[in-house]
């Protein structure tokens, strides 16, 4: 069972800088993640918050709620949130970081991720398809 977390401003997908993030809305994206989960044979729960603390709490609770892996797009928190990094580091589930845009091709401040080092890996620049790849990977490594 996979938890898909989206952080600050990702509720605005579809209208927010569409040339950078595309036309897919958050609700489209969440629907796609659910269908991809069904194809991969797992349930998917999607959550979005603009609040750092809420994201931390979802991460803290994920294992006890039966999740086996986490896909997270932390939005701008990626670049500075040591609290988010510590929350990921402090739990056992595999986590994959996803960015819709190619953060390495954008402003300098987006090149740094404080969270990627405590994740299994990072997918950036492949649009919403990155979420699918992250889920595929989590299924692969958690298959008994």
Residues marked as binding for substrate? 73, 79, 86, 100-101, 110
Instruction: For 22-33, give one letter per residue: b (16+ CB within 10 A) or e.
Output: bebebeebbebb
Residues 85-144 binding ligand DQA (CB under 6 A) are 99-101, 103, 110
In the complex with ligand DQA, which residue's Cβ is closer, 18 or 66? 18
Residue 128 is classified by DSSP as: T
In the complex with ligand DQA, which residue's Cβ is closer, 50 or 142? 50
Q: How far is the CB of 34 from ligand DQA (least distance, A)?
A: 19
Query: Residues binding ligand DQA: what is the number (CB under 6 A)?
Result: 10
Choice from 73, 85, 122, 139 touching ligand DQA (CB under 6 A): 73
In the complex with ligand DQA, which residue's Cβ is closer, 38 or 105? 105
Non-local CB neighbours of 114 within 8 Å, separated by 6+ positions: 78, 79, 80, 81, 82, 84, 85
**Which of the following is catalytic: 51, 65, 82, 99?**
99
CA angle 120, 103, 7 (to 5 degrees): 65
Instruction: For 44-71, give one letter per residue: b (16+ CB within 10 A) or e.
Output: bbbebbeebeebbebbeebeeeebbbbb
99 is catalytic: yes
Q: How far is the CB of 92 from ligand DQA (least distance, A)?
A: 24
Q: Which residues are catalytic?
A: 21, 99
């Amino acid at each position: 069972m996979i938890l898909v977390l989206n952080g600050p401003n990702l509720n605005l997908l579809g209208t927010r800088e569409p040339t950078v993030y595309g036309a897919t809305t958050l609700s489209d994206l969440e629907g796609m993640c659910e269908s991809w989960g069904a194809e991969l044979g797992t349930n998917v729960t999607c959550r979005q918050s603009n609040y750092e603390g809420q994201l931390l709490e979802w991460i803290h609770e994920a294992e006890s709620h039966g999740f086996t892996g986490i896909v997270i797009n932390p939005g701008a928190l990626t670049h500075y949130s040591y609290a988010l990094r510590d929350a990921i580091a402090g739990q056992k589930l595999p986590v994959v970081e996803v960015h819709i845009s190619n953060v390495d091709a954008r402003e300098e401040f987006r090149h740094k991720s404080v969270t990627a080092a405590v994740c299994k890996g990072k997918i950036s620049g492949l649009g919403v398809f990155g979420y699918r790849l992250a889920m595929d990977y989590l299924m692969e490594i958690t298959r008994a």
